[in-house]
Amino acid sequence: MTEAIMLVGGQGTRLRPLTTHTPKPMLPVAGVPFIAHQLARAAAAGVTRVVLATSYLAEVFEEHFADGSPYGIELVYLTEVEPLGTGGAIRNAAAGLTCGPDEPVLIFNGDILSGLDIAGLRDGHVAAGADVTLHLTRVEDPRAFGLVPTDEDGRVLEFLEKPETPEQIVTDQINAGCYVFTRSVIDRIPAGRPVSVERETFPELLQTGALVRGVVDTSYWLDLGTPAAFVRGSADLVLGKVDSPAVPGPTGDALLLDGATVDRGAVLSCGTVVAAGAVVRAGAIVEGSVVLPGATIGADAFVKDSIVGAYATIGARTSLDGAVIGDGATVEADNELPNGIRIACGVLLPVGAVRTTAGPGGCPAGQSTAAAVHGSVLQQ
């Protein structure tokens, strides 16, 4: 039996307004709440029990996942009244663990999509007799990340803050947000106050001579914390660039969930997802985007790399690129929104209110397909 803790209590500020009503780990990615992918991958690696460390909008998780039995995994919920940060949340969640002090406990950040060999990380931790083992990944541009250099045996040397000069870039290895802790190490994190695992727990462990290992695994890795990464992660799951047992239905150029209504004259591509109750009208082109439940994409609209919130409406001939449209917002016909715009929940943008020079882009050749796929309800 292996137990895990999943950190899902953050506010997800970088994804606002999508996280106004839904916590980031519950936002639909490739058709299901994001952590359904993580839970499925954890279960496949032999995890049998997961403690969800909740805080922001805590009730949403249990309403959806209940005791976990439909997902083949036992779920326990421990909620922080005041958010305790990553380390404090791990300490608080330890109350839900049943394992002994020498057992390994997997810890997942609730916003990382990866192809990590989870069982391998746990087994290597046990074999090495480590206190903590971190999954590390390599990035091309490490300037935006804290760095984690290791020696030739994989022992972590330091936890460095984001580099500010080229000389400070001593490695391209970064913390990938998945760890194995020996249970007794969790029990030593101070209780009842905010603690950052990155800034406090890990550096203290190094100071006391603990064995902290870093394992570089360069398979698929993406932090879904920003809108651009969020749509990419969803599309990559649909396109099969990363595997998840939780993707509902066959993958291909687009994923239409049961109850989606897409006109035969619409074109969906580049890993677009259309959720239940959403409608895409004739002539619309939707590329690499996430259309959430009950949303409507009007005739001849162009939607690229965007997230259209639940029950939002995009009018005819309107175009979006890299946009985030909040739940229930309406962008009426003939708007051309600038790249990267965010529209708050419930806002109304009248006909032709915004015009820019941005025009339709295009996805790589061969990824366009007519919408008539996967047996969803199609309008004639």
In DSSP notation, 3-16 reads EEEEE-----GGGT
Between 175 and 261, CB nearer to ligand GTP = 175
At 230, list the tokens. Answer: 């969020």
Mark the segment that binds ligand GTP (CB under 6 A) among 50-58, 63-71, 209-217, 241-249: 50-58
SS3 187: helix
Between 82 and 102, CB nearer to ligand GTP = 82
How far apart are the C-alpha atoms of 176 and 47, rounded to whole Å?
A: 19
At 228, list the tokens. Answer: 């651009």
Contact between 9 and ligand GTP per CB under 6 A: yes
Between 111 and 287, CB nearer to ligand GTP = 111
Contact between 10 and ligand GTP per CB under 6 A: yes
Q: Candidates 33, 68, 85, 294: give the one binding ligand GTP (CB under 6 A).
A: 85
The answer, yes or no, to whether the previous bond of 166 is cis (omega within 30 of 0) is no
Mark the segment that binds ligand GTP (CB under 6 A) among 47-55, 267-275, 333-341, 349-357: 47-55
Name which of 280, 254, 281, 258 is nearest 269 in CA terms.
254
CB of 213 to ligand GTP, least distance (A): 21
Please name every residue paired with 280 in a beta bridge, in sequence order, or none if there are none: 262, 297
| Pair type for strands 173-182 and 285-287 | unpaired
Cβ proximity of 99 and 3 under 8 Å: yes
Contact between 55 and ligand GTP per CB under 6 A: yes
Burial class (CB in 10 A: 0-12, 13-18, 19+), 59: exposed
Q: Candidates 3, 4, 5, 12: give the one binding ligand GTP (CB under 6 A).
A: 12
Q: Candidates 41, 68, 75, 111: give the one binding ligand GTP (CB under 6 A).
A: 111
Contact between 280 and ligand GTP per CB under 6 A: no
- Give 166's contacts (C-beta < 8 A, 6+ positions apart): none
Between 111 and 263, CB nearer to ligand GTP = 111
Between 39 and 279, CB nearer to ligand GTP = 39
Mark the segment that binds ligand GTP (CB under 6 A) among 6-14, 151-159, 229-237, 271-279: 6-14
How far apart are the C-alpha atoms of 358 and 339, rounded to whole Å?
A: 8
Contact between 83 and ligand GTP per CB under 6 A: yes
User: What is the binding site for ligand GTP (CB under 6 A)?
Assistant: 7-14, 24-25, 53-55, 80, 83-86, 89, 109-111, 225
